[in-house]
Amino acid sequence: MAVGKIDRALVADTALRLLNDVGLDGLSLRAIAKELDVKAPALYWHFKDKQALLDEMATEMFRRMVAGTRIPPGARWRERLLVTSRGLRTALLGYRDGAKVFSGSRFTETVHAVQMEENLRAFVDAGFTLRQAVRATNTAYLFTLGFVTEEQGVHPLPGERREGYDMAARAELLAGFPLSAAAGEVIFEGYDEAFEEGLALLLKGIEAESGIN
């Protein structure tokens, strides 16, 4: 398809586009290569192995997340943590198996440090110790990763629903567990609200434990 010069960025971009069509399981080097009008082994000129390509994809995902996250100027710790957490979730949801790709990879650059530094700075400026700042941001980060991982297990892409989870069948299996049965609706419907309320719990906790608001 694309006949121009091939470099790491173009490969990662192409792979990310393909990811939404075929998912992580279908993302073979041969498929990516075909999209670039090239044979599979050519990719080894640019990446030492497939994991290195996945790492580049994760890094590019993060780059786009940072670019797409508008942080209000003068935002304080609370707002920053809300906005960056929502931004991460939105970014991961933008790709099929986005959370899996992301959390199975390691960054190839230090782009992530910019946002991390600004977030930590906001906390420290507000009076948190560095340790408190790290724990707070990291907890939000890991909650978001876990959340989207599970969410994408049910909704591979926003709007799509994965087969094999019938609400009625679930209710029947959980006869004898009335609360768990009723919990189904709360869990599997309204992921947006669930995420927001989880974040809200965390923020409340940060506030309550530090006394900083």
Partner DNA sequence: CTTGACAACTTAACATCGTTAAGGAGACCC
Partner DNA sequence: GGGTCTCCTTAACGATGTTAAGTTGTCAAG
Name the residue nearer to DNA (CB basis): 6 or 203: 6
Sole binder of its own copies in the list 106, 161, 167, 192 (CB under 8 A): 106
Q: Which of 49, 160, 189, 192 binds DNA (CB under 7 A)?
A: 49
Residue 125 · residue 78 · CB < 8 Å: no
Residue matched to tokens 């960054």 = 107
> DSSP labels for 125-188?
HTT--HHHHHHHHHHHHHHHHHHHHHHHHH-SSTT---SS--HHHHHHHTTT-HHHHHHHHHHH
Label residue 76 exposed, middle or buried (CB < 10 Å: 0-12, 13-18, 19+): middle
Among 2, 9, 21, 28, the residue binding DNA under the rule CB under 7 A is 28
213 binds, among its own copies, DNA, none (CB under 5 to 8 A by kind): none
**Cβ neighbours, 10 Å, residue 107:** 15
Among 45, 72, 163, 175, binds DNA (CB under 7 A): 45
Residue pointed to by tokens 């009076």: 127
Binding partner of residue 28 among DNA, its own copies, none, CB cut-off 5 to 8 Å per kind: DNA
The verdict on 127 binding its own copies (CB under 8 A) reads no
Task: Pick out residues in 135-174 that bind its own copies (CB under 8 A).
Answer: 135-136, 138-139, 141-147, 149-150, 153, 164, 173-174
Which of these, 80, 64, 75, 88, lies nearest to 195 by C-alpha position?
A: 88
The region of 10-18, 30-38, 69-77, 96-104 touching its own copies under the rule CB under 8 A is 96-104
Token couple for 85 = 């957490």
Using rule CB under 8 A, residue 52 touches its own copies: no
Nearer to its own copies, 4 or 164 (CB): 164
3-class SS shares of the chain: helix, strand, coil, % to 5:
70, 0, 30
Spatial neighbors of 33 by CB under 8 A, at least 6 apart, are 39, 40, 42, 43
Nearest distance from residue 204's CB to its own copies, in Å?
4
Q: Where on the chain is the footprint of its own copies (CB under 8 A)?
A: 100, 103-104, 106, 110, 113-114, 116-117, 120-121, 124, 130-131, 133-136, 138-139, 141-147, 149-150, 153, 164, 173-174, 176-180, 182-183, 186-187, 194, 197-198, 200-209
Q: Where on the chain is the footprint of DNA (CB under 7 A)?
A: 5-6, 26-31, 33, 37-42, 44-46, 49-51
